[in-house]
């Protein structure tokens, strides 16, 4: 898969379309306090900003930018902190640029993911009863499946509740690379093979509500591991501990792993790529998933 996948945007397609081509909130902090602390502004610099603010009738952030004591990204980051909207700004950013929802949350790409998130909340997570996990499926490698899964998980993590992103692509995993977390020491494959390591689920420092279950050591028999009862038991347990679960899966061209994962997850969404995905491959994937109890909740067209 092309790792330089930064400019992608996605448009949703209705799932009926045929493929033919708490804790109490902390005390409120002002924007000025947040900017001053983040930029280590001195007392004299703060006074300078306040004088400019009063003389020109502008906000603290605008005054700081005008005086060269902060930049626009600093102001947006401070605003996000005030509204409890987690993301990593430029300069403070330790997130991979591919994670656009967290690294560049005010872009069109990030807004597209938030729109998809809203549709999924209405369609998948609004009803009573057990919530399904969501398997992200695609017919071929390079369709943007991992990029989509990771950014959708980041988008959900910016809401209240706990979001878990599982890397179940035991053929060509990338989630651990995107989030810069160790995988070889333990993960999904370790659990399913009975060699459970401690603390296999890892938190993301920049996104407090997001947790990652990496793939672990790449096994020689991924499909056999997924078909073991242990995977079904694991999914049942995780659904009781997390509000939303997103699962990255191998491309269908590698085998039926994705369909097996979708059956255990309960729901799936298909990613295709404009001018690349073949209709026959998409229809085959749909029919394979429909053989199980999994519900296909929609499809996404990657326009790049």
Q: Tens digits of per-residue pLDDT, 53-100?
A: 888 888 887 888 888 887 766 666 566 555 555 555 544 557 899 999
Residue carrying structure tokens 């001053």: 36
Instruction: Spell out the domain ranges in the chain.
Output: 10-21+95-302, 31-82
- The sign of the dihedral angle between the CA atoms of 50, 52, 58, 61 is negative
Between residues 252 and 14, the one the model is more confident about: 252
**SS3 of residue 211 by DSSP:** strand
What are the CA-CA distances from residue 111 to residues 211, 230, 263 (Å)? 22, 37, 30
pLDDT tens-digit series, residues 102-155: 888 888 999 999 999 999 999 888 777 678 999 999 999 999 999 999 999 999
Q: Rg for the chain (alpha carbons), in Å?
A: 21
Residue carrying structure tokens 């499809």: 299
Superfamily of the domain at 10-21+95-302: P-loop containing nucleotide triphosphate hydrolases (3.40.50.300)
**SS3 of residue 191 by DSSP:** helix
128-132, 248-252, 291-295: least confidently modelled range:
128-132
Half-sphere exposure of 47 (CA within 13 A, CB side): 3
Separation CA 271–CA 144 (nearest Å): 7
Kindly report the pTM of this predicted structure: 0.75
Over residues 7-32, mean pLDDT: 52
Tokens of 275: 């001018």
Query: What's the residue count for the chain?
Result: 304
Over residues 176-180, mean pLDDT: 93
Q: Let me know the angle formed at the C-alpha of 293 by 291 and 298, rounded to the nearest 5 degrees.
A: 85
pLDDT tens-digit series, residues 142-153: 999 999 999 999
Q: What is the mean pLDDT of the chain?
A: 83
Separation CA 271–CA 289 (nearest Å): 13
């Amino acid at each position: 898969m092309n790792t330089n996948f930064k400019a992608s945007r996605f448009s949703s397609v209705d799932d009926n379309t045929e493929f033919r081509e708490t804790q109490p909130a902390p005390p409120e902090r002002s924007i000025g306090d947040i900017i001053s602390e983040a930029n280590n502004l001195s007392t004299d610099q703060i006074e300078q900003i306040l004088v400019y603010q009063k003389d020109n009738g502008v906000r603290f952030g605008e005054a700081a930018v005008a005086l060269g004591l902060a930049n626009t990204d600093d102001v947006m980051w401070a605003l996000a902190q005030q509204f409890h909207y987690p993301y990593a700004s430029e300069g403070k950013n330790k997130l991979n640029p591919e994670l656009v929802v967290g690294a560049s949350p005010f872009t069109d790409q990030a807004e597209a993911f938030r729109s998809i998130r809203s549709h999924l909340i209405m369609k998948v997570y609004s009803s009573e009863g057990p919530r399904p996990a969501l398997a992200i499926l695609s017919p071929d490698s390079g369709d943007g499946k991992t990029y989509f899964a990771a950014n959708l998980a980041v988008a959900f993590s910016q809401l209240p509740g706990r979001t878990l992103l599982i890397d179940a692509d035991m053929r060509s995993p990338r989630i651990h690379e995107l989030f810069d977390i160790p995988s070889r020491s333990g993960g999904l494959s370790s659990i399913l093979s009975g060699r459970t390591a401690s603390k296999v689920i890892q938190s993301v420092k920049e996104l407090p509500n997001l947790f990652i279950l990496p793939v672990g050591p790449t096994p020689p028999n991924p499909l056999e591991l997924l078909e073991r009862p242990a995977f079904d038991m694991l999914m049942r347990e995780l659904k009781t501990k997390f509000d939303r679960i997103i699962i990255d899966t191998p491309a269908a061209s590698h085998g039926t792993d994705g369909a097996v994962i979708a059956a255990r997850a309960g729901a799936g969404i298909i990613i295709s790529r404009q001018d690349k995905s073949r209709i026959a491959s998409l229809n085959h994937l749909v029919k394979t998933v429909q053989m199980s109890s999994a519900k296909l909740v929609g499809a996404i067209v990657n326009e790049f």
